[in-house]
Structure formats: structure tokens, C-alpha cells
Structure 1
């Protein structure tokens, strides 16, 4: 068995609550890991702010309530969404919120992610992450991506033609700054003389790095780099069966080809549990609404009807006029709730036993962590109640 690479030993001791996982072989997608530890369940802080007639502070309070409930109810961790200048993900700083979450919790793992690296100076990302690691030693990781929204990158002056190269330079610099003293760099976008990160991260060798990727080419690249993967196929929920399996097969296949040790995989899913199917579908319209906001942000009008299209590398598209006063105009896709679980791999809006069955399928595929998106317009009290039900009726099936 191996320790999580980023949640490694601190001064020779494992942090409280540290789990270990065994590798899953890429050639046998259904083979269970050889370790006795089960898949762990996370939640997300999505900062979805569709109703702008409400104060944003209510959204902030809801996210803090989710942090507190995740700590209390035994979820393994929380991922924190970030995006700017629109109300789909209305959180300008995942790092800042992560620092607040770190001070409110004692055991919860925290991943600010994703941080769109082309939008930042990587030296500052590494510095702030190191400070966060000192606030919550052994409990934090860094989620990064190249960015999927033209809106954000246009405002920050990042040319789409330079996005990928700037991301790769930024990631290289962050990794090197964690590992080396007096590191210097002379690249296309960043150049600096010998520089040492102070303070250095307390977690050895460094905090976990998670890369968000949604295409087969992208997940292969993550495997080549020997990094952890956060994934869900492109274009949000209402995902056909088979897409995720193909992504995981590509990641595992590339792990074998590269000779790297397989790292952790987190899969994101929209979830809601109910004692009956009808109860689980109570907030179905909110799930559809969130999907339409997501599609407006990343794609625009139209759908993706082929697996090849859904798993292809997504560009940031053309500049579009769909945000006014910060409020997005969502798309207008519609879905039927009939036979939802049979038709789609995501969302998972169902009873505890069927949710466990679905999660066990992902566990058998080698998924280490399930990230549950549970706040897409529902009332705060309903979200907390649903988390409590998950903790009582779903999480025990994945206990060590």
C-alpha cells in the first residue's frame, strides 16, 4: 500500500486520518484495488449564484455551512470552485476561501480548485499554497487547470492561442518551486533569477497537485506528468454511460505506458439522495438549471451528440455577449426526469442503496474519491439535511 503522495509524512508522522490506497491496473478496468481502503466521498463548494436578487453573502454563508457539515458528518474533503466576473461560479479566490475553511476544520481535506494557472503568476500560486499548507498541515492540495471559460481569460488578457503553453510553464514552475531552492526560469511567459519559496510547504515532499481534465488527450497528459486527476467528461451532467469509463481507461493506459505510479483519481458527480425516488428528484429542476448555466459558460448554443465530441479537447470558443451586470444568460436545454438513473451516468439523484451501487461501480473502476456536487440552487437547510442522510446511509458503505 502507498500513502497519498501529497498527504505524505510530516516530520516522519502520518497526519491524522491519513488513508492509503493501492494501485489499479489500467488493462483491467473492473479490477478492484488490492488495498483494503475504500473510495472516499467529498463534497464541493460550487458558489452557484443564479439568483442575484439575493445578497451574495447568503451564497458565502451556504458554502461555509457546507464546510462545517462536511467536517461534522465525516466526508473526507471539500473542493472549492473558483471563477470570476459571472454568477455561475461566483468565487474570486478559492485560495482565500480554503484558508477560511482550514481554520474552521480539524480533519477535513481541502482542495482549492481549480486555480486557472494562466490567470496567475505561478510564483504567487506556489507561495500562497505553501502558506495554506501551514494553516492545515497535511490536509490541503492544489487543483489546477488551463481554464475553460473564454470570458475569464479575455478579461485577464490571456490569448487563447497562448493558454496551453502558459499553463504548462506555470505548472512546471509551481512544481519546481515546491521542490528546489534557488530555482531560476527563462521561458516564453515567465523569467526570473534564482528564487526560493519561503515558507516552504510543511507537507513532504509537497502538497498534492490535482489537475482537472475532461478529455482523453488531457487525462493522458496528466498520467504522463505523474499527477492526480480530477475529472468528469466534458459538458457537465446529463452524461451518457460509457464516457467516464473511456476517460479512466485512457488515464490507466497512459500510466502503464509511462511507467509512472498511478496517482489518485477524483470523479465529480451531481448527487442528491432521497428515501424514495420521488424525494430524490425534488430539486431536479435546479440540476437542469445549473446545467444550462454551465453550458452557457463553456460552450454556448448546441449540444454534443457524439462520444468523440464529448471526450475531445475543448477550446474556449469565441467571445460571446451573454453576461450583463455579471448575470449570465443560461442555455435552455430540457430533460425528462423519467428513468433518469437508467439514462444518464450523471446526475445521480436516487435512493441510498442505488447511490451506493453506482458509487461501488466507480470504486471498482479505480476511482479513489467521489466529489459530490450538492448545491446547485437548493435551500441551505435541505443541503445540510441531504449531507446528513448521505453520512448515515451512504458513507458507511465506504468506511475503511
Structure 2
């Protein structure tokens, strides 16, 4: 298994100044490299306290690249629907060169109605815009004199500069929430997968992974593919303290998410079947149940190591992204979480693998 830090801010100006947030996050990036983590990842969101302090993951990861030498940089994820593919492909190629090939590009569809409204984009177009954007970026990275005639963007002939550092292009990962067909397509295309297991039953996640790995093998790709899963994470030496504070930060993050998705109570989209239930599902969030089902990593290092052994039995050799800042804990507690994880959890899995 591999492990990294996922920066998903759940703050706004009333909680923390943006400049302070970025400085603290970049200090955590430095600590993550020192402690031996494999990657850092961040989101793309707008306007809401739910991720809104990171409207451009490329900018954040470029700063992270300047402060590190080894750790991988992962967009988790960039949204093709909100950026012209020539612009997006160029920004990512720059980052790949700045980091000398440490970039892994995660693409996502987005799901917040308020973000689509602000960009003037129909929610029902999100799947088609996603597919077109990923295809356009792949072609711009790997071909010259590209002529592209899509449903939303047409251009060419274009030869992108700079060319990506990694050839033919950086590894691609695809974010999926509940759609099995997306997992199969990612496997066929040779892309990695990014998942949030907390929003599905364990059996559903296993079925989605089975479809992904079967499609990957049938397409003739080597290995079993690359799977990233994000987990809320809070560690302390004392188990009671970890649960008390972990519960509070989970509650805060849940409140912020509830505000961001509130529009789904009245919105409907053919591209997001069942999302009208998301508000109700968030309201029913149960921290103790999530903990019991290994959907969150809260506890002492020994407890977390045992949870991860179970997760590995369920899902295989995956890459785990730890959300150590969600709920806006103090910097010192987030730094303690990654230090304790590095000292008390990582050695178990490094020795095994």
C-alpha cells in the first residue's frame, strides 16, 4: 500500500485567513515528504467552505513542487468542464515539467449545482464535457498538430508547449462516486481510479473494484491498475482523545458539506441519478457507525494499523489518501496526525511491501 495526504479545505474567511491556510498546508507538504509519504493531493472547488479555498489545484501543487524533491503531486481532481482543454493541458504540462515528472492527473466531473451555475454550464452536460476534456488533454499531450472537433470545443491544428515531462503523458486517474460503468471505462482506458469509500457500502466498493480490475486485465494492461481511496484521518496517542476530537472535526466537515450540497434538495439532473438524496444522507451521518465500518481512520497508531490491514484485505493494494485537515483542526494536531502515522503506521506496511 502507498499513503499520501489529501488537502480538502473546509474553511472560509470566518474560520481562517486564506494566506494562513496555504502556509500551513504547504508546511504539512514539507512534513509529508520528510516523513516518507508517497503523495500529496488537493481538490478543485469553488465558492463554498467545502473546498473553496482551492479553486486551482495546479497552483497549489506548483508551490508544493517548489518545496519538495520526491513526493508525487496528484490533482484530486481537476474539472475539465470548467476549463478549456488547451488551457488545462498546458497548465498540467507545465506542472509536470516543474516537478520533473512527479505529476499524476486526476480528472473529475464535479457535482455541486452552484459551481455549474456560476460557470453557466448545464449539469446534464457534465459527463459529455468530462469525456471530451480528458480525450482532448490526452491528445494534446501525446500528439502534434492536433485538430479537435468536439461537441463543446473545436481547435487546431495545435502543438502544445511545453510537452509533458512524462511521455506520452502523466498518469491519469478518474474520480468516480457511484457509477460502475465509470470504473469499467477507466479500466479499459488504462486509467487509475479515485474513490471515496465512505459514501458506499463495502460490498459496492468491492464490486466496483472488481469491474475495474477485470476491464483492466481484459484490455491487456499490466498489473491491476492504480486505485486511490480517500479517508478522513485523525490520530492521537490517547484513544479517547482521538475519538472525541475526531468526532468533532467530522461533525464540522459534515456541516460544511451539507451547506454546499443544499441545492440538491430541489435540483434534478439526468447525469446525477439519486443525488436528490445526498442532503438526507449527509444529515444521517453517524460517526460511530463510520468508525465501526472502517470508513474513517480515527484512533491511535496501533488502531489505525489494524484498520488498514482490514481495508487491504477488502480492497487489495491501494493508495490511501489521508484527509488530515478536514473539519479545520489546528495545524499542530494535523501535523501530529501525520507524524504519528509515519512513526506508528507506515513501518508496518513498508516492511510488508
Q: Distance in 2 between matches of 1:397 and 1:85?
A: 40
Report the equivalent of 2:348.
397
Report the equivalent of 1:125.
88
Report the equivalent of 2:173.
210
- SS of the residue aligned with 2:155? strand
Report the equivalent of 2:45.
83
Of 18, 23, 28, the match for 1:56: 18
Structure 1 residue 347 and structure 2 residue 296: aligned? yes
Query: What is the TM-score of this pair, normalised by structure 1?
Result: 0.78
Report the equivalent of 2:210.
249
- SS of the residue aligned with 2:232? strand
Q: Tell me which protein shows more helix as a share of its residues.
A: 2
- SS of the residue aligned with 2:334? helix
Q: Distance in 2 between matches of 1:242 and 1:88?
A: 28
Deviations 1:123-156 (A, max 9, x none): 1111111111111112111111111111111100
Report the equivalent of 2:191.
227
Of 371, 391, 397, the match for 2:321: 371
Q: Distance in 2 between matches of 1:381 and 1:70?
A: 14
Describe the shift of the 1:174–1:260 C-alpha distance in structure 2 as closer, same or farther (beyond 3 A). Answer: same
Describe the shift of the 1:190–1:300 C-alpha distance in structure 2 as closer, same or farther (beyond 3 A). Answer: closer
Describe the shift of the 1:200–1:189 C-alpha distance in structure 2 as closer, same or farther (beyond 3 A). Answer: same
Q: Distance in 2 between matches of 1:124 and 1:137?
A: 20
Q: CA deviation at 1:53?
A: 4.5
- SS of the residue aligned with 1:199? coil
Q: Distance in 1 between matches of 2:88 and 2:199?
A: 33
Q: CA deviation at 1:355?
A: 1.5
Describe the shift of the 1:315–1:155 C-alpha distance in structure 2 as closer, same or farther (beyond 3 A). Answer: farther
Unaligned runs of 5+ in 1: 1-38, 303-311, 323-330
Q: CA deviation at 1:80?
A: 1.0
Residue pair 2:40, 2:72 contacting (<8 A) in 1 also? yes
Residues 60-209 of structure 1: pairs in structure 2 closer than 5 A:
60-90=22-52, 91-209=54-172
Describe the shift of the 1:280–1:340 C-alpha distance in structure 2 as closer, same or farther (beyond 3 A). Answer: farther
Residue pair 2:88, 2:137 contacting (<8 A) in 1 also? yes
Q: Distance in 2 between matches of 1:197 and 1:370?
A: 33
Aligned residue pair count? 338
Residue pair 1:231, 1:266 contacting (<8 A) in 2 also? yes
Structure 1 residue 381 and structure 2 residue 332: aligned? yes
User: Of the two structures, which has the highest relative contact order with CA contacts closer than 8 Å and spacing of 6 or more?
Assistant: 1
Residue pair 2:113, 2:264 contacting (<8 A) in 1 also? no
Describe the shift of the 1:147–1:260 C-alpha distance in structure 2 as closer, same or farther (beyond 3 A). Answer: same
Describe the shift of the 1:92–1:316 C-alpha distance in structure 2 as closer, same or farther (beyond 3 A). Answer: farther
Q: Which sits farther off after the overlay, 372-381 or 347-356?
A: 347-356
- SS of the residue aligned with 2:11? coil
Q: CA deviation at 1:348?
A: 1.8
Query: What is the TM-score of this pair, normalised by structure 2?
Result: 0.88
Residues 178-327 of structure 1: pairs in structure 2 closer than 5 A:
178-215=141-178, 216-233=180-197, 237=198, 240-261=201-222, 262-281=224-243, 282-298=245-261, 314-315=272-273
- SS of the residue aligned with 1:283? helix
